[in-house]
Structures are given as C-alpha cells and as structure tokens.
Amino acid sequence: MVVGDSISAHYHPYLERHLGPSFEYAWAGGGDSSRVLTQLQDRQGAGSLDVDVMLLNCGLHDIKTDPATGAKQVPRDEYEQNLRDIVKLLDASGVMLIWVRTTPCDEAVHNKADMEFHRFAADCEAYNHAADEIMAASGVELLDLHGFTLQLGEGVYCDHVHFHDGVRQQQAAFISGWLSHWLKVHHTANDAPVSRRHSRD
C-alpha cells in the first residue's frame, strides 16, 4: 500500500503499471502527518490494515506556512511525534514500513503574494532530516524520492510543487526499480505473486 500526498497520487498509475503481478497494490490518500496518523489508527481499529508493506510519505502538507504568522500547519516537534507514533502503530500491526522522503518545491513560483500558504525549501530539508533520524533509529528503510527528483535538473515542475507527467513516470520507474531490488532481498520461498487491488480514501 502507498500512503502519500498528491505527488504519490500523480505517480501511482505509472507505479501500478510498473509493478505488474509481483505486488498486490493499493494507493490510499494521505495529507499531513496528523491526518495520516488518524487514518492509520482508524484502519487499525477497523481491522483493515492487512498490509505486508507500506510506502509512506507525509511532509509537504506539514510544512505549509501561514504567510502572515509564519506558523506551520504541523510544527516540527509535532511532526516528529506523529512519525514516531506511526512507526509504533505499523510495527504493532506487523506492517513493514518504507519511508519515502518528501519531494522538493519551487519556492520562487510557490511563494507569491496571492498564495494562501507558502512552502520553503529549508523547511522541506529540515522535516526530511527529522524523518531521516526517526526512521534510522527505528530501522526503517528510506526511499530517497527527494534526492532522485533533484537529480532530474531544471524544468521538472508543472506548477509550484507538482511535476510534469514525464517526471511522474520517471519517479514511478525509480520507485519500481527500488522495490524490485527490495523484493529480491526480502523474498522468501513462501511468497507468491497475487493479484493487485486499488483503493482510494
């Protein structure tokens, strides 16, 4: 299952196609870390967290900044606690977590006077760094979509934070390749391919 923001919504059709029959695949909407935590708690309570592996990202919504006050949608200390709670919840549920690092934003385009909220590259780096430390301390593997996207160079954005379709396809190919390698490492004799499913929240 992939749980993430609109970036994952954009690459997920291509990722599903890349993964083929090796994975039973589902995509579920996300949001900021508080919303993701609540969603996962609700799934756990309803007994619908029957997932072997979860690719999870939250961060872009957390760093939304009020232009007038400078307040973050989710302050960094709260973000960190949410991530720790998410890790504990998934661990208790027997779900293997793979953390997807938050993708960058185009600050020059994003932070115009008429924007309802701003985002800053420095906040993206800081929240990614916080997540890196939490995941490393918990033994969670990192999938560096942030670093991969940066390596694609200029002209990748279709707006302030989202990417052109060709970039979405490249992101999906990168994630698929990473997962295929991961599967080879973690595959056991008892594993077998199963049909895919698709769900949206």
Mean pLDDT of 115-137: 96
Between CA 74 and CA 65 the distance in angstroms is 9
Three-state SS for 37? helix
Angle at 178 between CA 5 and CA 76, to 5 degrees: 40
pLDDT digits (tens, 9 = 90+) for 127-185: 999 999 999 999 999 999 999 999 999 999 999 999 999 999 999 999 999 998 888 88
Domain limits, the chain: 2-186
> Both tokens of residue 63?
């760093």
DSSP one-letter string for 73-89? SS-HHHHHHHHHHHHHH
Considering the entire predicted model, what is its pTM? 0.89
Tens of pLDDT, residues 19-28: 888 788 999 9
CA distance 185 to 181: 6
- For the ranges 39-43, 131-135, 146-150, 188-192, the lowest mean pLDDT is seen at 188-192
CATH number of this structure's domain 2-186, picked from the four choices 3.40.50.1220, 3.40.50.2000, 3.40.30.10, 3.40.50.1110: 3.40.50.1110
Ramachandran quadrant class, 21 (left: phi over 0; alpha: psi -120 to 50; beta: rest): alpha
